[in-house]
A and B are shown apart, each in its own frame.
Chain A
Amino acid sequence: DGGITQSPKYLFRKEGQNVTLSCEQNLNHDAMYWYRQDPGQGLRLIYYSQIVNDFQKGDIAEGYSVSREKKESFPLTVTSAQKNPTAFYLCASSRPRALAGPDTQYFGPGTRLTVL
């Protein structure tokens, strides 16, 4: 079964702690993305990666960090520097870079992070 998975589904963190959200895909996609969604709002881009060992900041990268050591994996760390981390986090991936055409994104089920 091909797809994109995120874990855990729910995550609770104490203020001041770093936490890492997992995102894995077996779609052979080169590009991967992290978004943040606040209640009743749209998606805001945190970080994205077009290829292994490379990534770029999105619109709201402050307080977050990522790595892309493997094609299949793009973990997101929410650091203690993120002032308001409680949100729904969505990971997505899109087609291999070598193919022409638009980027249709495939999304994981999301991780809901709550800071206590």
Chain B
Amino acid sequence: SQQGEEDPQALSIQEGENATMNCSYKTSINNLQWYRQNSGRGLVHLILIRSNEREKHSGRLRVTLDTSKKSSSLLITASRAADTASYFCATDAKPTGRRALTFGSGTRLQVQP
């Protein structure tokens, strides 16, 4: 089963608006990562937040993490048409004997020019 579940599944906004995507997960984690996927392409790493961090910024990206609620959010400010893509959260769970990320189902973002 998926560790991470993104919400909403799809989001359509106008250029210049902010986009917020949420991710919930089930088990304790070491860190949480966000990836982006353009249609029909591989994933690209965007940002990582460790379990002892609450907020992190990278350019127009802002990630928050609430370990008590087992949730994270990705905010893209001043969105551009080029931000149109699917966005996935991925969790690196605390030792389970398996060293592999678990990906959520993704949020499809459409930014209208």
Q: Judging by beta carbons under 8 Å apart, are B100 and A102 in contact? A: no
Q: Judging by beta carbons under 8 Å apart, are A107 and B101 in contact? A: no
* Interface residue total, chain B, C-beta cutoff 8 A: 27
Bound together, the chains give a CA A41 to CA B105 distance in angstroms of: 5
| Cβ of B4 to closest chain A Cβ, rounded Å | 8
Task: Give chain A residues whose Cβ lies under 8 Å from the Cβ of B40.
Answer: 88, 110, 112
A63 interface residue (CB < 8 Å to B): no
Task: Give chain A residues whose Cβ lies under 8 Å from the Cβ of B43.
Answer: 43, 90, 92, 105, 107
A102 touching B50 in the complex, CB below 8 Å, given contacts A31-B99, A42-B106: yes
Q: How many A-B residue pairs have CB under 8 A?
A: 59
Question: A interface, by DSSP: helix, strand, loop or mixed?
Answer: strand
Task: Give chain B residues whose Cβ lies under 8 Å from the Cβ of A105.
Answer: 35, 43, 45, 90, 101
* Interface residue total, chain A, C-beta cutoff 8 A: 26
A102 touching B103 in the complex, CB below 8 Å, given contacts A90-B43, A107-B44, A109-B41: no
Question: B interface, by DSSP: helix, strand, loop or mixed?
Answer: strand
Q: Judging by beta carbons under 8 Å apart, are B88 and A106 in contact? A: no
| Cβ of B91 to closest chain A Cβ, rounded Å | 10
Task: Give chain B residues whose Cβ lies under 8 Å from the Cβ of A41.
Answer: 105-106
| Cβ of B29 to closest chain A Cβ, rounded Å | 10
| Cβ of A115 to closest chain B Cβ, rounded Å | 18
Contact of B105 among A42, A58, A112 (CB under 8 A): A42
Chain A, residues 41-53, CB within 8 Å of chain B (1/0): the string is 1111100101000
A103 touching B41 in the complex, CB below 8 Å, given contacts A41-B105, A42-B104: no
A84 interface residue (CB < 8 Å to B): no
Binding site for B on A (CB under 8 A): 31, 33, 35, 40-45, 48, 50, 56, 58, 88, 90, 92, 102-110, 112
26 sample A-B contacts, Cβ–Cβ < 8 Å, listed by A number: A40-B108, A41-B105, A42-B2, A42-B4, A42-B104, A42-B106, A43-B43, A43-B103, A44-B103, A45-B102, A88-B40, A90-B42, A102-B30, A102-B50, A103-B92, A103-B100, A104-B48, A105-B43, A105-B90, A105-B101, A106-B45, A107-B42, A107-B44, A108-B42, A109-B41, A110-B42
